[in-house]
Structure 1
Amino acid sequence: MSITPATALAALPEGLRDDVVESFNHIVRNYREHRWEPAELNGGKLCEAVFTAITGHIDGQYAERSTKPRNMLSACQALEHKTGASRAVRIQIPRMLIALYEIRNNRGVGHAGGDVNPNLMDATAVLYMSKWLLAELIRVLHDLTTEQASRLVEGLIEREVPHIWTDGSKKRVLKSKITWKQKALLLLLSESEAISEQELFRWSEHSNASRFRREVLRPAHKEKLIEFDEIESTVQLLPPGIAQAEDLVNSI
């Protein structure tokens, strides 16, 4: 059975799975909104959730919710002695947890008196360490490649995009006086996976499907903003498209 973002963490109890995904999405959302301190603070919550998950993986029994060890450094170092487990869960993931937890606790985020105030550089480190941790957790749970696990992590990101309204079944762009390409990018930014060409066309409220394909989708594909699969009729944002869409969100 193929692994999807929805099933990537299915091995974890629901409460623990929610702790992992929600803390990760808080980091992503706050980073996107340039809220450095909340982004860094949620790094600590993710550490606790991932620590609980890998401890359960090693012991063969998961806790229902994440718990905070009395001393994160000592608890992570103790995992190195669990010789029956893989190096990833004994050493590599715990050492990354220590680094991430250090930013949360001793860089002016969790407590007063740190060396620096919350900032873009530290928040960026938190974001990418968090993505790495989640990808490694998924890789270990499913014996995947790093590339496969990384793609699943991107699929877990909740994209709450300003100017996009939804009732759960359809979406609308609320901002007027932007181009059709910009509308398409905003709509795609609100999705974590590929969607059908027909769905994107309906959501955009363009009047002509052939022109939408010819004048919006194909040029955006050529610019490497989207991956437009004309055989499967699916559309997905590429990294340059994500960057352009996020710039658009911040400018309108």
Structure 2
Amino acid sequence: MRKELLKAILLADHPQEIVEHTVTSYQEVAGNFRLEKWKTSELDAGHFVESVRRLIENKLFGSFTAFNTAISSFNQGVLNKYEAAQGGEEYRILIPRVLFAMYCIRNKRGVGHISTISPNKLDATFILHSAKWVLAELIRLSSKNSPAEAIQLVDNILERQVDLIWEDDETFMVLDKKLKTSDKILLVLYKQDRLSADELRAKVDYKNKSAFTKIIRGQQKEKAIAITAEGICKLSPLGVMLAEEIINKSS
């Protein structure tokens, strides 16, 4: 799984507890953004900032604030402490300042506290792309991946729990046999977005390649999915809504 590959890269350089919290909190930010839950997405950014701050502490100072202990307030003094430490400027200067900007948006724009500005798409977009940049930079620093390869890994980790799908290390199966292939496609992409047409066809267990191509082209025409120039299928906001309707009807 792509998420496990991403974790394996980070585990080469950082403690498992920090890696788990960092990846999970990023998924929460990205997942709620895709559902257009701006406030929830921005609130989740607080967990991401706190997780990566612990990663920075461990990298620069050799230990980190336990997760069952509140981390200190984020302010200019903390930024100065990071900058004065020994280590790469990514950990001392660049990543901390991006985190601080995320922290300020989360705390001062009607997300964590009452403000004249309510949570909105513009602020949530800033937070999402800042979190994506931070996570991609951590991957780049822990591996030999290029920035483009690192961001692709980040883009590919978003998965959701879907009760209609059975997945373990050996099996991936859509369990409702009555569903149309087009609905199965939406469910699979809802659980794990950005799959090649062949990967998607295998996951819905559809044998006829040319007929399957017609189905996904039809869904593209209906704006439920998009197909990139490289043949990657991804769910549109409309596709997310349609997938959730399928899930709700089955529950």
- TM-score category, normalised to shorter length: 0.7 to 0.9
Q: Equivalent residue of 1:156, what SS?
A: coil
Question: Runs ≥4 in structure 1, deviation > 6 angstroms?
Answer: 221-224
Find the aligned partners of 1:141 and 1:78 in 2 and give their Cα distance.
23
* 1:78-114 Cα deviation digits (max 9, x unpaired): 21222x42222111111101110001111111122x2
Gap change, CA 1:32 and 1:174, over 3 Å in 2? farther
Q: Which runs of 5+ in 1 are unaligned?
A: 229-235
Residue 60 of structure 2 corresponds to which residue in structure 1? Answer: 58
Q: Equivalent residue of 1:8, what SS?
A: helix
Find the aligned partners of 1:101 and 1:237 in 2 and give their Cα distance.
34
Kept in 2: contact 1:16–1:49 (CA 8 A): yes
Q: Equivalent residue of 2:165, what SS?
A: strand
Q: Percent identity, aligned pairs only?
A: 26
1:81 and 2:84 matched = yes
Within a 5 Å distance, the mapping from 1:195-206 to structure 2 comes to 197=198, 200-201=200-201, 203-206=203-206
1:215 and 2:208 matched = no
Q: CA deviation at 1:55?
A: 2.2
Corresponding letter in the other structure for 1:70: S
Find the aligned partners of 2:110 and 2:91 in 1 and give their Cα distance.
29
Gap change, CA 1:14 and 1:64, over 3 Å in 2? farther
Q: Which runs of 5+ in 2 are unaligned?
A: 221-225, 247-251
Instruction: Decide which of 243, 247, 251 is 1:249's aligned counterpart.
Output: 243
* 1:126-156 Cα deviation digits (max 9, x unpaired): 2111111111112122243211211221233
Corresponding letter in the other structure for 2:100: I
Find the aligned partners of 1:237 and 1:189 in 2 and give their Cα distance.
14
- Cα RMSD after superposing both structures: 3.3
TM-score computed with the length of structure 2 as normaliser: 0.75
TM-score computed with the length of structure 1 as normaliser: 0.75
Gap change, CA 1:87 and 1:221, over 3 Å in 2? farther
Corresponding letter in the other structure for 2:80: Q
Number of aligned residue pairs: give it: 231
